Amino acid sequence: MAVDSDQNAGQNAGEPTGQPADPTAVATSAFGGRLLELLTGHALTMLLSIGHRTGLFEAAALGPATSVELAERAGLDERYVREWLAAMVTGRILRYQPDTGWYSLPAEHAPLLTGAHSGNIGPAADSLGVLAALLPSVRRCFTEGGGVPFAEFAAVAGADLGRQWRHIYDEHLVDGFLGAAPGLLDRLRAGARALDLGCGTGHAVNLMAREFPASRFVGLDNSADAIGLAEADRAAAGLDNAEFRLADAAELVTEHPFDLVTAFDSVHDQRSPGQVLRAIHHALAPDGVFLLVDGNFSSHLEHNLDNRYATLSYAISLLFCLPTSRVEGGGGLGAVWGRELATEMLTAAGFTEIRVLDSPRPQTCVYVCRRGAR
């Protein structure tokens, strides 16, 4: 299948003709170039996912090699590898030496394409592939309204559900996120009762349970698939101070208050986020802390124009956060609800002390909230 990506739009605009260039044609040509970049980026993202999942980037990191040698290293079909390599070279991701036939991964590129850490873009490329698979369901929402059940996304993601955040938790959960709240780490070391709301596959809960054996942790999520994976990981790690519950966060009821409630990138996905925040406030002990990690954006579109993460976050919000939250009549807060609206909603829920702090990840911020009188 051939794709004429520039559609011949203004392709000759601006060339010397003896006549003044038509400003509109020049602008159209420039925009055509921008669209070509977008299409190319989308195609390369799919190939980044392939390189990540097949081990090609790890194989390339071992040193320069021919297509045959790289295919052998990764245990793959050479012809497919060769075509993939051509796209990687012309996309300025790998380098090629015609005289030797060697392909190489630049040292400055390797940290972003290899290794089990949050800087590796591979899991993010995989996640975008999952979202692409659900495009027909999201398009249907444009005409019919409603949403897309999380179970549809989970079915496509399979065992990779929640994988993108695992490395983020490994690197930033304790010192970066929890450490943002003064005294919280000491409190957890001494023994506290904590709840992670919207826990997903439970990696954060299991990490906290391992790091703070004197404390007890509960993970809550409304996805049976996610809770199943969380419980399997907990059992494999032999953690008896963690448990997982399948429940709707908006219906949170607890007989014993929590010293800490956490929500990592999850409140905006809720069907009734205002109700969830009120439930969290009610579930906290008098001196309890609510730690909310969410997008570091303004609630006002015009203030996000120069934020390098805004476009991707709006897009992911449209493709995942909005449709999952609007199932069964949810309001659809969206991932870029922003600091102003978040602060307003936290205040309305009853929190009297709200501090918005920097996070180790520039695309997120940390809200440290304490409740006032009931």
pLDDT of 304 reads 98
Nearest to 74 by CA among 57, 55, 87: 55
The pLDDT value given to residue 14: 45
pLDDT at res. 12: 47
Question: What pLDDT, on a 0 to 100 scale, did the predictor assign at position 329?
Answer: 83
Segments forming the whole domain that contains residue 263: 123-371
pLDDT (0 to 100) of residue 162: 85
Identify whether the C-beta of residue 228 lies closer than 8 Å to the C-beta of residue 219.
no
| pLDDT value for 373 | 54
What CATH number is given to the structural domain containing 205? Answer: 3.40.50.150
Q: Residue 286 falls within a domain, yes or no?
A: yes
Query: What's the whole-model pTM score?
Result: 0.91
Domain boundary among 83, 115, 147: 115
Same domain? For 95 and 168 the reply is no
Buried b (16+ CB within 10 A) or exposed e, 195-227: bbbbbbbbbbbbbbbeebeebbbbbbbbbebbb
127, 108: one domain: no
pLDDT of residue 11: 46
Tally of CB atoms within 10 A around 165: 18
Asked if residue 4 belongs to a domain, the reply is: no
Residue 296 CA to residue 303 CA, distance in Å, equals: 12
The answer to whether residues 245 and 302 belong to one domain is: yes
- Per-residue confidence in pLDDT tens, the chain, 374 aa: 655 544 454 444 444 556 778 999 999 999 999 999 999 999 999 999 999 999 999 999 999 999 999 999 999 999 999 999 999 999 999 999 999 999 999 999 999 999 999 999 999 999 999 999 999 999 999 999 999 999 999 999 988 888 889 999 999 999 999 999 999 999 999 999 999 999 999 999 999 999 999 999 999 999 999 999 999 999 999 999 999 999 988 888 788 899 999 999 999 999 999 999 999 999 999 999 999 999 999 999 999 999 999 999 999 999 999 999 999 788 799 999 999 999 999 999 999 999 999 999 999 999 999 986 55
